[in-house]
Amino acid sequence: MTVRHVVEVAQFDRAELERLFARADHMRELPPDAAPLRGRILATLFYEPSTRTRLSFEAAMLRLGGQVISTENAREFSSAIKGETVEDTVRIVEGYADAIVIRHHEQGAAHRAAAVASVPVINGGDGPGEHPTQALLDLYTIRHELGRIDGLRVALVGDLRFGRTARSLARLFCLTEGTELVFVSPQAVPMGADVRAALDAHDVAYRDEQDLAIVLPHVDVVYQTRIQRERFATAEEFEASRGVYVLDAASFGRLNPQAIVLHPLPRVDEIAAEVDPDPRAAYFRQARNGVFVRMALLDLLLADGERPNG
Ligand code: CP
C-alpha cells in the first residue's frame, strides 16, 4: 500500500480503493485460525466517544491475530488531562504499538499525529474534519449491496457541515465515475465549500435540494446522518436543525424499491425504528462491514511484505 498513514480520503486513488475492497472481500472469508498480524499491537487513542470505530478496529486487530492497547476516554483518562500534547502522546505510544488509531475533537489532530509518528496513524475522526475509514466502509457497503460504485445517484442527508462522515464520503466519490450527489440538509448545516471545490475539480455532479420527498424515488443510495448536538454553539441553533429530515415508513413508501439506506450511526431520531426490518435498511450491515474493511486496512498497512515504505 502506498499510503503510510490514513488521515484523509484524498490519499487514496482508484487502484488502492479496489485493492482495499478486494482485501475486505477476502477478510469476510478469513479462516478463524489465520493470524497474519500475530505479534503486532494496535493502539486506539480515543479523545471522543465511540462505539463502532473503536470496537470494530479492535475486533479487526484481534481477528487478524494481533493485540490491542486502548484508551477510550483519552481526553480525561490519558495524560492529556495533565496538558500533554497529541504529538508527545503519539511519540510515546509509537514505542508501544505498531499502529495507532486516533479520534480527536480537534480538526487536524490526526494530521498532527501523523506528522510526528514513525508508525502508521489512522484517523478515526477528527472533530468536524474527516472520518476516512468510515467513508471507505460506506463505499464498500454500496459496492457490496448494489454491485457497483459508478453511475450512482446518492442523497447525502442531514448535517453536511459538521458531519465528517458525509464530508469524507462525498470526497471519496471523486474516485468514481458518473456519480450524481444530492445534498439535503437543514439550512444551517450545508455541505462545505471545501468539499464542493473538490467535487468540482473531479467533475462530480452535485446539487442542493430542500425537499427529501422529491429525492427519494430517484436515488440509489440515501445516506442519512445525525444532527450532532455536540457541534453546535447554542441549543437554539441545534433545535433549529433537528427533526427536519426523518426517514420513516412513509418515506420508505416513496423510496426507490432498489435503493439502500445507509447511516454511519449512531442514530437518534432521524430514522424511525419501524423501517429497520425493510431490506433496504442497510445500516446494520454497513456497521458490520466496518470490521472487514478495517481488517483489510490493518493487514495492508502492517502485514509482512506489505510494510509501508513512505
Ligand atoms: N460511525 C461512527 O463513527 O460511530 P462511532 O462514533 O460509534 O465510532
Q: Is residue 155 domain-shared with residue 121, that is, in the same domain?
A: no
Residue 202 is a catalytic residue: no
Q: Is residue 63 domain-shared with residue 194, that is, in the same domain?
A: no
Q: Is residue 120 domain-shared with residue 190, that is, in the same domain?
A: no
Q: 118-139: b or e for each residue (b if 16 or more CB lie within 10 Å)?
A: ebbbbbbbbbbbbbbbbbbbbb
Residue 111 is a catalytic residue: no
Tell whether 307 is covered by a domain: no
Annotated catalytic residue, options 52, 143, 144, 226: 52
Task: Record the cell numbers describing residue 14, joined without a space.
Answer: 482508484
Q: Is residue 253 domain-shared with residue 298, that is, in the same domain?
A: no
| Spatial distance between the Cα atoms of 191 and 163, rounded to a whole number of angstroms | 9
- Which residue's alpha carbon is at the smallest distance from atom 4 of ligand 1? 52
Q: Is residue 116 domain-shared with residue 162, that is, in the same domain?
A: no
Q: State the alpha helices, DSSP H only, in 94-192.
A: 109-116, 132-146, 164-172
Annotated catalytic residue, options 4, 23, 53, 226: 53
Q: Is residue 68 domain-shared with residue 168, that is, in the same domain?
A: no
Q: Is residue 156 domain-shared with residue 278, that is, in the same domain?
A: yes
* φ/ψ (deg, to 5) at 208: -100, 145
Domain containing residue 225: 132-287
Residue 131 is a catalytic residue: yes
H-helix or E-strand spanning residue 290: helix 283-302
Q: Is residue 169 domain-shared with residue 183, that is, in the same domain?
A: yes
Q: Is residue 17 domain-shared with residue 84, that is, in the same domain?
A: yes
How many folded domains does the chain comprise? Answer: 2
| pLDDT tens by residue, the chain, 310 residues | 666 899 999 999 999 999 999 999 999 999 989 999 999 999 999 999 999 999 999 999 999 999 999 998 888 878 888 888 999 999 999 999 999 999 999 999 999 999 999 999 999 999 999 999 999 999 999 999 999 999 999 999 999 999 999 999 999 999 999 999 999 999 989 999 999 999 999 999 999 999 999 999 999 999 999 987 877 878 888 888 888 899 999 999 999 999 999 999 999 999 999 999 999 999 999 999 999 999 999 999 998 644 433 3
Annotated catalytic residue, options 5, 23, 63, 103: 103
Measured from the Cα of 290, ligand 1's closest atom is 1
Q: Is residue 75 domain-shared with residue 155, that is, in the same domain?
A: no
* CA distances for 96 relative to 44, 54, 73, 99, angstroms: 11, 18, 18, 9
Q: How far is the CA of 305 from the centre of ligand 1 (A)?
A: 31
Q: Is residue 111 domain-shared with residue 143, that is, in the same domain?
A: no
Q: How far is the CA of 229 from the centre of ligand 1 (A)?
A: 15
* Nearest CA-CA partner of 182 in 213, 147, 138, 137: 213
Tell whether 2 is covered by a domain: no
Measured from the Cα of 53, ligand 1's closest atom is 8
Residue 103 is a catalytic residue: yes
Helices (H) and strands (E) in the chain, counts: 12, 9
Residue 242 is a catalytic residue: no
SS3 state of residue 6: strand
Q: How far is the CA of 32 from the centre of ligand 1 (A)?
A: 26
SS3 state of residue 145: helix
Q: Is residue 21 domain-shared with residue 67, that is, in the same domain?
A: yes
Task: Record the cell numbers describing residue 151, joined without a space.
Answer: 453511475
Tell whether 85 is covered by a domain: yes
Which of 47, 134, 283, 291 is the pocket-test mutation for ligand 1 (most atoms within 8 Å of CB)?
Answer: 134
Which of 48, 50, 285 is the pocket-test mutation for ligand 1 (most atoms within 8 Å of CB)?
Answer: 50
Q: How far is the CA of 55 from the centre of ligand 1 (A)?
A: 9
In this structure, what CATH number is given to the domain that contains residue 259?
3.40.50.1370
Tell whether 308 is covered by a domain: no
